[in-house]
Amino acid sequence: MTENGFLHHGKVLTLDSMNPNVKRVEYAVRGPIVQRAVQIEKELREGVKKPFTEVIKANIGDCHAMGQKPITFFRQVLALCSYPELLEDNKFPEDVKNRARRILQACAGGSIGSYSASQGIELIRNDVARYIERRDGGIPCSPDNIYLSAGASDGIMTMLKLLVSGEGSSRTGVMISIPQYPLYSAGLAELAAVQINYYLDEAKCWSLDVKELRRALEAARKHCRPRVLCIINPGNPTGQVQSRQCIEDVIKFAAEENLFLMADEVYQDNVYAEGCQFHSFKKVLFEMGPEYSEKVELVSFHSTSKCYMGECGFRGGYMEVVNLDPEVKVQLTKLVSVRLCPPVTGQALLDLVVNPPQPDEPSYATFIKERSHTLAMLAEKAKMTQDILNQVPGISCNPVQGAMYSFPSIQLPPKAIAEAKEKGQAPDMFYCMKLLEEKGICLVPGSGFGQRDGTFHFRSVMWILKVFFIKKLTAAPFGPVKTDSGSFVPIGRFH
């Protein structure tokens, strides 16, 4: 077909011609449930009558969006970095001004609007290294092994790009926990890597068993080359905190099987349960002695988006590489240079997180008060979450030991499961969609994170368990949801 003398070929980019790996990417925490929630919010604003007046978003760990207050010291310093004229304002404490000057002096042209080195500002990488040394009891950390990133997600994807190679049965296999954070399954789909599932034990508070790791590894060797083991600790979406013994067992397993370890530790400040403690993989690795500390390849990740900071929008984070081949490290540095640099505002925020006010500085008292309050509230809500959910018929929730989420199991009646299958939906997706439509609660179905066959779950961000939400969960009797196969209550008993 010609048009104005030119041959018309149609669209260059179509579903058939696009990268097929992208079509396989799924990201449940911003998937169909959330898209429908946004539509419902628009309908409410336009005056459409619903059985509720607001959508309660429990789908994503966006702390500030749900009311968590920012830390004053962080925002004050960032304000001065963004608008240095404020350095002359006597409303700001001197330690805030000093910190802003220190960061600005490390930026090209004295401005956070300039590019930084691709690996991150040297001053900030030094501060991160000193932070890790303090955290790990003096174990050395070189700033040359620190790479700043746009949140932990950026670092995780960068490392996966380095690790994935091969074709057919030699294609890289990456072991991820089930349930898992969908970044991992999405990233592996995008890179056409082989996803190797190992299951956490729900009956034992989502614990990790090396026997399960070995089962998954041996099964995977039949069709790929397993090279990577990913660990999330504290767990997302499951909220468990690994014991030191468990971490040692995992490190030994990685050493025996020659696996590259990726430790996602972004919730390291979020530990609530009595008897639980965060142990970094690096600390445990080096305390196990040279047999392991000189052999096991490890990369660990941290972020400013979670913990008591909750500064998701600034996109700050870092990764530390341990025992990386020097020639590969050159390639890693080249790879991060392609994106020029991480957001400099995020780098500045990270510097404040790893180098907070000291006891002799004017901002210290307020900083400690705000930090302690935020963590105390999160701990209270962790306990409240499991207590409330376990009171609801049809729901069972493990203790929330850490992180920011609960991942309770739900019982669904056969008719609801059958109707979900007729609609081509996972049963817990069907359940969550009905819950959104009838009660205005936006949750993420367990099928978006992975789960054992025949079980159903949802992930809920725990801090939204405000009074209104709790009443919705515990109200009795609860109005039934009408479906084509009868009616059932969306939370609790089914009819």
Domain borders along the chain are 31-60+371-488, 99-354
What does the pLDDT read at residue 2?
59
Q: Using one digit for the tens of pLDDT, what is the confidence trace for 367-415?
A: 999 999 988 888 888 888 888 888 888 888 998 888 888 889 988 888 8
Strand partners, 482: 487
- Fold classified for 31-60+371-488: Aspartate Aminotransferase, domain 1 (3.90.1150)
Is residue 248's pLDDT more than 90? yes
387 vs 246: which has the higher pLDDT = 246
What does the pLDDT read at residue 364?
96
148 vs 428: which has the higher pLDDT = 148
How many residues in total does the chain contain?
Answer: 495
Q: Using one digit for the tens of pLDDT, what is the confidence trace for 320-367?
A: 999 999 999 999 999 988 888 999 999 999 999 999 999 999 999 999
What does the pLDDT read at residue 201?
93
Is residue 276's pLDDT more than 80? yes
CB-based contact 395:408 (threshold 8 Å): yes
Is CATH 3.40.50.300 what the domain over 99-354 is classified as, yes or no? Answer: no
Alpha-carbon distance of 274 to 353, in angstroms, equals: 25
The packing angle between helices 326-337 and 151-163, to 10°, is 130
Q: Using one digit for the tens of pLDDT, what is the confidence trace for 190-233?
A: 898 999 999 999 999 899 999 999 999 999 999 999 999 999 99
Range with the largest mean pLDDT of 156-160, 255-259, 434-438? 255-259
Please work out, in degrees rounded to the nearest 5, the angle formed at the alpha carbon of residue 154 by the alpha carbons of 256 and 329: 55
Residue 8's pLDDT band, with cuts at 50, 70 and 90, is low
Task: Mention every residue, 6+ apart, whose C-beta is less than 8 A from residue 129.
Answer: 141, 142, 143, 145, 146
Alpha-carbon distance of 389 to 335, in angstroms, equals: 45
Is residue 102's pLDDT more than 90? yes
Amino acid, res. 368? I
- What are the start-end ranges of the H helices in 298-390? 326-337, 344-354, 364-389
Residue 317's pLDDT band, with cuts at 50, 70 and 90, is very high
